[in-house]
Structure 1
Amino acid sequence: MIPGEREEDGSREERPPDGPIPHDHRIDVVKERFAARLMTYPNVTGVGVGLRMRAGRRLSEPCVRVFVSRKVPEAELRASDVLPRELEGVTVDVVEGEFTLLRNGAPPLPPERRRARHFPFAVPGTSVAGLRVTAGTLGAAVYDATGGGSQLLLSNWHVLCGVPECAAGEEIVQPGPFDGGTAPRDTVARLLRYADTDRVDAAVAVLDGNRFLSDAIAGIGLVSGVGAAGLGMRARKSGRTTGVTGGIIDAVGLDVTVGGRLFRGQFTVASEDGAPVVAGGDSGSLTVDDRNRAVGLLFAGRTDGAYWIANPIADVIAALGIRFTPDPLPLDAAVLLTAADS
């Protein structure tokens, strides 16, 4: 039986997800058709395609997911303010969730390596920021796909930049200023380009030659490639504040309000036991699946830390002109190397 299909008596099988859930494009269509209308209801913070929750348990039933800042009993609402239970045969599930960028108010760490200066290699998963920012996370080493193939440092726009007037060439320090980083002593890179749109909060910086950048992420290792987020998949990240944590991809195609701005097409990773998996300072962490493929760039989280939100990595790659592997060898060089090894 396909997870979530109907039993013979008409009831729906209720099982927790034990892996990726088959994609149902019909729900995508319904979500897109009604998202703008649902976002106008009181307290609604986001609308996407998610896994249904019942009595605190996550089920293997895809649905239209609606996040609200707080649930209000129907008796206290006007009839016109009550969210529908179903849309065109698709269940509408309501979950509390108010989201914020994970930079401002970054809590101090105990004296651990994640907020320390790393030399001669800067390490993804540790503290980094532009001089106008407190502290975020160095997400990953990537490579310039627009020409030259230079190694770049990847994080969020609001970690490496943070203000509309920032410009290419601004200094990036590791660790971030909140963790004691200063310029020029701790300068590791300079801002190259960024994307601050309704789909992507991301930026890259080019190394300034004072330090190397490790391709391996602290506690996770090397990125094996690029994948796509899907409901029911397990994912994890390595962040400046909470270290290596993980959860289940719980919503995709999410249109969500963060800090008063509407972001479109995002996905969430949810704690499987309700414990916090993210906190201030984790912004910029790379989200990877259980095969260590990059699937997203973390930029926000629920205020209680039980969810994080990520930009799909395909959108980040397209917006910044990057890849996760260096330039392939030219054919003649590859032939020469092969001949030398034989």
Structure 2
Amino acid sequence: MTDPHAETRAAIRPVKEQIEEELLAKKNVVGVDIDEKETGGQKTGELSIVVFVDSKQPLSKVPKADRVPPEVQGVKTDVQEIEIELQMLSAQRLVDEDFAPYVDPAAYPTLQGGISIGPLRSVFLSPPDAPAPGNYVFVGSLGAMVRDRASGQTMALTNFHVACVNNTWSVGDRQVQQSLVDGGSPAGQFGSLTRATLSERVDGAVISVDAGRAWTASVHTVGQVAGHTAATVGMTVQKRGRTTEHTFGTVASTDLTVSINYGSDVGVRTFRHQIRITPDTSRNARFSDRGDSGSVILDANRNVIGLLFAGATDGSATFANPIHSALDELGVDLIVSPVTVPTKPILSCLDSRISLCHVTKPSLCRPTRTPICDQVISRIVICDFALPTRPLSCHVSRTVCPPVPSRMVCDRPPDWRDPIDRIGAGHGYGEQGVDVEAPYWAGYLAALEEVAALDENGSDEQTPDRNGEH
């Protein structure tokens, strides 16, 4: 889906970026974005600079210095209330405590995106960072499998605040699946924390996977990761996380600036150019919740667009780092599912015998034989013109049923031109006096041998019945 407000959004963007520091300095302001202005909780269709506050108050109770101007350089503003949280879940660790299961606390023999992970260590916290002083353990989600650009090491991608928690982390900290919150133990160790980043764009970390540990380049219940792409407003997206599992939503903005409190140890951090996602409430009440931090967000084609790290406590919004920023800052690349490339010509059953086709685009073929005929043609005719680069219309006849031709006839389209004329001498298959590449001939001859073997052994398996079915 394209953004109907793309031009207006582009015009507002420099104004928003110019004023956002001043707005973030005001009391209770936690974010600045571009979105439709709301009146009475309903969107008006008019784009504005949206100022998010953690507590909306009557204007009369807001000091003048902290008031948001009604417009900036001709662009209207809109104040909206939102309470933001990091979407990591913690639990106080007590001796012999049994951790209650949440949505998907399971252990998986094969590492993949969308499953429970967390540090093996506990972290001591005290108020205001925790309800009471004590040692706490944490849980988030494994986002996706990645590969170190320098060493080629296989790694797991997640958030800084999932794998590191705070500034007490060290390289080599062991990680477990499932997390200790979910009942995990040292037996579930799968890797070591290698590096992390907490910048204006990324809350990320990578964990080197232990040798011998099984993994797959997929996100649980979503499928194989196809690649990555930039988020766009209006894009339909999905994610799989430990808590809310497989959910769906829509990219509402790629211009979010948001300030989040990471606790007294790390402090308040401001993120810029972030992705804001709203839930598809026809499919799920919320897009994410605590415990989903570290999940990757994908488009409908399973291309990763972001790394989930925070959201609104009421489920109205989820925030994500742009995936290209996360990959670059961490020095890794997504591991994607391999593309299978055929190494031999493809044999397919066409009409009543095996046909060998070398095409670069789909061919449209139609059988021309009559249902009941007397004579069978048992040979293959190889057409003597070059490799087609456009669909061919192929008349295939296995039998001699006048006036049907008794051989394979390949009609050249009306606008057909020889590839040699199009490409230039020395580049066309079938050109006299030119050596065709060895791989082509190897595949060609291998296919002919297969066809010959099928003719010798009978082709009952490949012969359709009179209704044209196999």
| TM-score normalized by the length of structure 1 | 0.83
* 1:40-88 per-position Cα deviation (integer Å, ceiling 9, x unaligned): 2221111122343344344654432211112112233344433122212
The size of the alignment, in residue pairs, is 317
| Aligned CA distance change for structure 1 residues 280 and 327 (closer, same or farther; 3 Å) | closer
Rounded to whole Å, the distance in 1 between the matches of 2:217 and 2:441 is 28
Partner of residue 224 from structure 2, selected from 222, 225, 250? 222
Query: Does residue 161 of structure 2 align to residue 172 of structure 1?
Result: no
Deviation at 1:264, TM superposition (A): 2.3
The one-letter code matched in structure 2 to 1:145 is R
Deviation at 1:164, TM superposition (A): 1.7
Give the match for residue 267 of structure 1: 275
Q: Is the 8 A contact 2:87 2:289 kept in 1?
A: yes
Give the match for residue 134 of structure 1: 138
2:181 match: secondary structure: helix
Give the match for residue 44 of structure 1: 29
| Structure 1: gaps spanning 5 or more residues | 1-17, 330-334
Deviation at 1:328, TM superposition (A): 9.6
Partner of residue 329 from structure 2, selected from 319, 328, 342? 319
Q: Is the 8 A contact 2:190 2:209 kept in 1?
A: yes
Give the match for residue 83 of structure 2: 98
Q: Is the 8 A contact 1:52 1:58 kept in 2?
A: yes
Deviation at 1:19, TM superposition (A): 4.5
Deviation at 1:234, TM superposition (A): 2.2
Give the match for residue 247 of structure 1: 249
1:215 match: secondary structure: strand
The one-letter code matched in structure 1 to 2:312 is R
Q: Is the 8 A contact 1:102 1:301 kept in 2?
A: yes
| Aligned CA distance change for structure 1 residues 19 and 220 (closer, same or farther; 3 Å) | farther
Deviation at 1:247, TM superposition (A): 1.9
Rounded to whole Å, the distance in 2 between the matches of 1:130 and 1:43 is 33
Give the match for residue 116 of structure 1: 106
Tell me: higher relative CO, structure 1 or 2? Use CA pairs within 8 A at least 6 residues apart. Answer: 1
Q: Is the 8 A contact 2:148 2:154 kept in 1?
A: yes
Q: Is the 8 A contact 2:225 2:336 kept in 1?
A: no
Rounded to whole Å, the distance in 2 between the matches of 1:102 and 1:170 is 21
Percent identity of equivalent pairs: 33
1:201-212 equivalent positions in 2, closer than 5 A: 201-212=203-214
Q: Is the 8 A contact 1:19 1:234 kept in 2?
A: no
Deviation at 1:186, TM superposition (A): 0.4
Deviation at 1:178, TM superposition (A): 0.4
Give the match for residue 296 of structure 1: 306
Give the match for residue 148 of structure 2: 144
* 1:71-129 per-position Cα deviation (integer Å, ceiling 9, x unaligned): 112233344433122212222122211211111447977576x311111x123111011
The one-letter code matched in structure 2 to 1:323 is D
Give the match for residue 309 of structure 1: 319
* 1:299-335 per-position Cα deviation (integer Å, ceiling 9, x unaligned): 1111222211111111101101111246999xxxxx9
Q: Is the 8 A contact 2:217 2:337 kept in 1?
A: no
Rounded to whole Å, the distance in 2 between the matches of 1:52 and 1:290 is 28
Deviation at 1:265, TM superposition (A): 2.3
Rounded to whole Å, the distance in 1 between the matches of 2:35 and 2:188 is 42
Q: Is the 8 A contact 1:145 1:322 kept in 2?
A: yes
Rounded to whole Å, the distance in 2 between the matches of 1:155 and 1:143 is 13
The one-letter code matched in structure 1 to 2:107 is R
| Aligned CA distance change for structure 1 residues 249 and 61 (closer, same or farther; 3 Å) | farther
* 1:186-243 per-position Cα deviation (integer Å, ceiling 9, x unaligned): 0111112111223211111111024211211112212222111222222221110011
Rounded to whole Å, the distance in 1 between the matches of 2:176 and 2:31 is 34
Q: Is the 8 A contact 2:105 2:116 kept in 1?
A: yes
Rounded to whole Å, the distance in 1 between the matches of 2:69 and 2:111 is 50
| Structure 2: gaps spanning 5 or more residues | 93-98, 122-136, 262-267, 340-436, 445-470
Over the aligned positions, Cα root-mean-square deviation in angstroms equals: 2.9
| TM-score normalized by the length of structure 2 | 0.61
The one-letter code matched in structure 2 to 1:118 is Y
Rounded to whole Å, the distance in 2 between the matches of 1:58 and 1:76 is 25
Rounded to whole Å, the distance in 2 between the matches of 1:215 and 1:243 is 18
Q: Is the 8 A contact 1:271 1:307 kept in 2?
A: yes
Q: Is the 8 A contact 1:271 1:277 kept in 2?
A: yes
